[in-house]
Structure 1
Amino acid sequence: MIKMLGTGVWICVVALASVYFSVQVSNKKEVVEPDPAMFGGLETIRGEVTSIPVISGGAVQGYFLTRLSYTVDPLKAAKLSIPVNELITDSLYTALVGEPVIDFPDMERFDLDAFKAHILTTLNERVGEELFQDVIVEQIDFLSKEDIRSNVQQGRSLKNNPTVERTTPQPQAAAEAPSH
């Protein structure tokens, strides 16, 4: 009888221990790491082509053309009272015209990372919060006045060139209706 009582106590202890450990394992919270910034949660806003005049010595020396895209938190962007594209365009002009970041005569030393960081800082300071996460460069060009003049002259010379033959497609002959 003592063996039977010992076996019953042993079964109860094992059952209680297994229930205790199963409850502890099921209540353990998993550590969830957030996704990196480039893998979800952000929205990309494609900017417009922006043409900024380069003024040096009191005259326009050319035009700086750029198209940038921006990654933003969509929940914060939805709360803005100003449309995002207008805010971006204004901040871009302010950053590039008001505070010369690029040394246009010496474009060989152009620091793309510093340019992107300056644009990002300017945008976030304007909003007053870290809304913009990254700046993505799609296009950067500089057209000097000489480049623009030569392009305009080439366009005129092609229009006024009498040796360029202009052909128009010939109409196909209408198919004759079969006679009955």
Structure 2
Amino acid sequence: MIRLIATGLWICLVTALSTYAATMWESKTTPATEVDQLFGGLRSMQTSTISVPVIDNGGVQGYVLAQFTFTMNSEIVNRMSITPDVFLLDAAFRTIYATDAETLSGSKKQDFQKLTSAIKKRVNERFGHDFVADVLIEKFNFVSKDQTRQGMEQVKARPEF
């Protein structure tokens, strides 16, 4: 009887210690100082998707749907009283809107390095110092006016419930 109780306690103890060890092993994180050294105190922020009209020959030719991720100095972001994503989206919208319509529609090859550099430069000029470290493209699609009309016709053709 004592052996049975001792064996049960032994099994419970081994199970508890192995569960604790597995949990600690899985949740091992890098200390904050190492993360700061790796990324230099950068913080990333993903914007919502924006829709920018592409205007050429006096009319809308289509829309660019874009989503970006910005890496910024975390110290500055923490001190801001307003979220910086509104400024980031504004700079992205203005830069894409000013881009040549042929380039955006796919007639010419898009230079994404030039686009992201222009967005970064515009945001940093607005804030007066190097606020944005890098601009990354999450999504970038061109949808022609004809494609949007076809999509709307399909939506109208569906019966409502």
Category of TM-score, reference length = shorter chain: 0.5 to 0.7
SS at match of 1:159: coil
Amino acid across the alignment from 1:90: D
Range that drifts further, 69-78 or 81-90 = 81-90
The structure carrying a bigger helix percent of its residues is 2
Distance 1:114 1:144, change over 3 A: same
Between the two structures, name the one with larger relative contact order (CA 8 Å, sep ≥ 6).
Answer: 2
Give ranges in structure 2 of 5+ residues lacking alignment: 1-35
- For 1:156-175, what aligned pairs fall within 5 Å after superposition? 156-159=156-159
Tell me the TM-score normalised to structure 2 length: 0.68
Q: Which amino acid aligns with 1:133?
A: A
2:17 matched residue in structure 1? none
Contact 1:101–1:115 under 8 Å retained in 2: no
For 1:55, the equivalent position in structure 2 comes to: 55
The residue that corresponds to 1:129 in the other structure is: 129
Structure 1 length-normalised TM: 0.61
1:131 Cα offset (Å): 0.8
Task: Provide the residue aligned with 1:119 in structure 2.
Answer: 119
Structure 1: gaps (5+ residues): 1-33, 161-165, 167-180
SS of the residue 1:109 aligns to: coil
CA shift in 2, pair 1:127/1:41, >3 Å: same
1:86-112 CA deviation, whole Å, 9 max, x = no partner? 111221222222x32662344441111
Go from structure 1 to structure 2 and tell me whether the alpha carbon gap of 1:88 and 1:110 turns closer, same or farther (over 3 Å shift): same
Percent identity at matched positions?
Answer: 26
Give the corresponding residue for 2:21: none
Look up the match of 1:69. Answer: 69
CA distance in 1, matches of 2:81, 2:129: 14
